[in-house]
Amino acid sequence: MIQVRELKKYYGNGTIKAVDGVSFDCPDSQITGLLGPNGAGKTTTLRMIAGLIKPMEGTVIIDGKDVGRNPQEARRLLGVQSDMTGVYPRLTSREQLSYYGRFYGLKGKELQSRVQAVIDLLGMQEIADRRAEGFSRGQRQKIVIGRALVHNPCNIIMDEPTNGLDVMAVRETRQTIREFAQQGRCVLFSTHYMDEAERLCDHIAIIVGGKIIAFGTPAALMQQTGKQTLEDAFVELAGGAEGMQQSEYSRQLQEA
């Protein structure tokens, strides 16, 4: 379970509020979506949860471990698929997964079987023993997702996991995300695709201008706004005054 409390991150001497008091819970066995327009603070929030960025204020607790106080222990409980799809071009997919698995104490046969399990899960058999040089974005994305899963984490963070994937890969990835939750894991992911969020998420946090402006099930958000689709509900919630504020924030961030 991931618990986020009053996270804050300001840039430019406090004038740019990238994340401004964000709080939400991601329970086990559920998929929590983080939705927001570009520059809303999604990725900054996810990076603070992963311990890559230090929050100015607030705490992140992962299965009882405080990321700020015990980052190494907390990171051990996390599997993070970042939005950077960089891979090591001179290593094979299997070698890359093994490399990451060893950071979590996996070795010998246990490591081999976990790597093989991830290869099977993500359908990477064809690229498993090929060096990653020249891989397509979809193939690289599989490695990125695979290295987040190789240590079988209970908590998974995915930053736009289907971005740039073809239709088949998107379907497979969504199915994999569903399976994670069914296996009892806590899944937190960000996406731009409303239909994806509507289909997958048990709960959705909508972030605009660094603040959570709505949190609930897709049905509850639609009911709250009186809209028929999540997309309409999102536009309703993210638009208006906050949307304008967001646009201003994006401009400031870009300038910074």
Partner 1 sequence: MWGRITNIWGKELTDSLRDKKALRQALLIPLIIGIFYAAFNPWINSIVTAKAKEPLVIPAQGIEYASQGLLDALKQQQITLQPYTGDLQGAISRGDKGAGLIIPAGFSDNLSQEKSATLMLFTNRTSGGIFGGGFSADRLNLALNSYSQAVSSSRVQARNIDPTVLSPINLKTQDLATPEQLAGVFASFTLPLIIGTIVAQGGLFIAIDTTAGEKERGTLESLLITPASDVEVLTGKLAAVFTMTCIPIVLTFVGFWITGNILPESITNGARLPITVPIGAILMSLPLALFVDVVLMIMSIRTRSFKDAQSAATPVGLGATVPAMLAAFVAPSSLAMYLIPVYGPAALVSSLATGTQIPALAFVYAVVGSLAAAAVGYLIALRFFNRERMLYGV
Give the footprint of partner 1 on this chain (CB under 8 A). Answer: 11, 50-54, 72-73, 75-76, 78, 80, 82, 84-91, 95, 99-100, 102-105, 107, 131, 144, 147-148
For residue 103, the minimal CB distance to partner 1 (Å) is 4
Which CB, 90 or 109, lies closer to partner 1?
A: 90
Which residue intervals of 104-166 are DSSP H helices?
A: 108-121, 137-149
Distances (CA, A) of 246 to 20, 21, 120, 174: 12, 15, 42, 29
- Judged by beta carbon, residue 15 or residue 228, the one nearer partner 1 is 15
Rank residues 148 and 221 by Cβ distance to partner 1 and give the closer one. 148
Q: How far is the CB of 9 from partner 1 (least distance, A)?
A: 10
Would you say 102 or 171 has its CB closer to partner 1? Answer: 102
State which residue, 59 or 225, has the beta carbon closest to partner 1: 59
Please work out, in degrees rounded to the nearest 5, the angle formed at the alpha carbon of residue 49 by the alpha carbons of 209 and 47: 65
User: What's the closest the beta carbon of residue 82 comes to partner 1, in angstroms?
Assistant: 5
Of 90 and 228, CB closest to partner 1: 90
DSSP per residue, 179-218: HHHHTT-EEEEEES-HHHHHHH-SEEEEEETTEEEEEE-H
Distance in angstroms (rounded) separating the CA atoms of residues 30 and 125: 29
Question: Least distance from C-beta 102 to partner 1, angstroms?
Answer: 4
Q: Smallest distance, Å, CB 75 to partner 1?
A: 5
Q: Which is nearer to partner 1, 25 or 73 (CB)?
A: 73
The arrangement of strands across the sheet holding 65-66 comes to 16-26, 2-11, 57-62, 65-66
Bridge partners of 207? 212
| CA dist., res. 38 & res. 254, Å (int) | 11
Q: Which two tokens stand for residue 127?
A: 């690229």
Closest distance of CB 65 from partner 1, Å: 11
Q: How far apart are CA 105 and CA 83, in angstroms?
A: 25
Beta carbons of 38 and 250 less than 8 angstroms apart: yes
